[in-house]
Amino acid sequence: MGDVGEILMSVLSTIRVPKPGDRVHKDECALSFASPESEGGLYVCMNSFLGFGSQYVERHHARTGQRAYLHITRTRKAKKEDDNNSGSGHPPKKKPTRLAIGIEGGFDVELEQYEEDVKVVLLPERQEVTSEDLATMPDVVRERVSLSMAGIMAADSVSHALQVQQWDGEVRQESKHAADLKQLDNGLKIPPTGWRCEVCDLQENLWMNLTDGKVLCGRRYFDGTGGNNHALLHFQETGYPLAVKLGTITPDGADVYSYDEDDMVLDSKLAEHLSHFGIDMMTMEKTERTMTELEIAVNQRVGEWEVIQESGTTLRPLFGPGLTGMKNLGNSCYLNSVMQVLFTIPDFQNKYVANIDKIIDEAPSDPTQDFKTQVAKLGYGLLSGDYSKPALDLGDENGASEPRGDQIGIAPRMFKALVGRGHPEFSTNRQQDAQEFLLHFINMVERNCRSGSNPSEAFRFLVEDRIVCQQSQKAKYTQRVEYIVQLPVPMDQATNTEELQEAEQRREEGDSSAPTVRAQIPFTACMAALSEPEILTDFWSSAVQAKTAATKMTRFASFPDHLVIQIKKFTFGLDWVPKKLDVSIDVPDTLDLSALRATGQQPGEELLPEVAPPPLMTPDVEVKGILGSHGNDEDDSLYSPLLSPVLDDSTVSQLCEMGFPLEACRKAVYYTGNTGIDSAMNWIMGHMDDSDFSAPLVLPGGSSGPGSTPTESLSEEHLATIVSMGFSRDQATKALRATSNVLDRAVDWIFSHLDDLESMDVSEGGRSAVESEGGRDPPPGPRVRDGPGKYELFAFISHMGTSTMCGHYVCHIKKDQQWVIFNDQKVCASEKPPKDLGYLYFYRRVTE
Quick check: helix, strand or coil at residue 69? Answer: strand
Please state, in angstroms and rounded to a whole number, the distance separating the CA atoms of residues 86 and 331: 12
Residue 753 marked ligand-binding:
no
Rg (CA), the chain: 31
Q: How far apart are CA 257 and CA 605, in angstroms?
A: 59
71 marked as binding residue: no
Nearest to 567 by CA among 628, 515, 522, 507: 522
The DSSP string of 709-757 is: --GGGS-HHHHHHHHHTT--HHHHHHHHHHTTT-HHHHHHHHHTTHHHH
Burial of 338 (0-12, 13-18, 19+ CB in 10 A): buried
Gap between the Cα atoms of 700 and 736, Å rounded: 9
Active site residue 808: yes
In this structure, the number of other CB atoms found within 10 A of the CB of residue 674 comes to: 21
Q: Which of 61, 799, 808, 812 is catalytic?
A: 808
DSSP helix, strand, coil percent of the chain (3-state; round to 5): 30, 20, 50
Cα dihedral angle (127, 131, 135, 136), rounded to 10 degrees? Answer: -20
Instruction: Kindly name the residue from 333, 449, 811, 828 that is annotated as catalytic.
Output: 333
Whether residue 29 is annotated as binding a ligand: the answer is no
Q: Considering Cα of 33, then 35, then 40, then 45, what sign does the dihedral take?
A: positive
Residue 128 CA to residue 255 CA, distance in Å, equals 60
Flag whether 301 is marked binding: no
200 labelled binding-site residue? yes
Per the annotation, does 259 bind a ligand?
yes
56 among the known binding-site residues? no
449 is in an annotated binding site: no
Catalytic residue status for 25: no
**Is 477 labeled as ligand-binding?**
no
- Is residue 803 within 8 Å of residue 844, measured between CB atoms? no
Other C-beta atoms lying within 10 Å of the C-beta of residue 770:
14
Cβ atoms within 10 Å of 438's Cβ, excluding its own: 25
Kindly write down the DSSP assignment for every residue of 478-507, as one continuous string: EEEEES-EEE---GGG-TTHHHHHHHHHHH
Mention every residue, 6+ apart, whose C-beta is less than 8 A from residue 513.
506
**Is 217 marked as a binding-site residue?**
yes
Whole-number Å distance between alpha carbons of 292 and 269: 21
Q: Is 220 annotated as a binding residue?
A: yes
φ, ψ at 773 (rounded to 5°)? -105, 20
The answer on whether 845 is annotated among ligand-binding residues is no
Residue ranges for the known binding site for Zn(2+) are: 197, 200, 217, 230
Residue ranges for the known binding site for substrate are: 207, 219-222, 257, 259, 262
Active site residues: 333, 808
Residue ranges for the known binding site are: 197, 200, 207, 217, 219-222, 230, 257, 259, 262
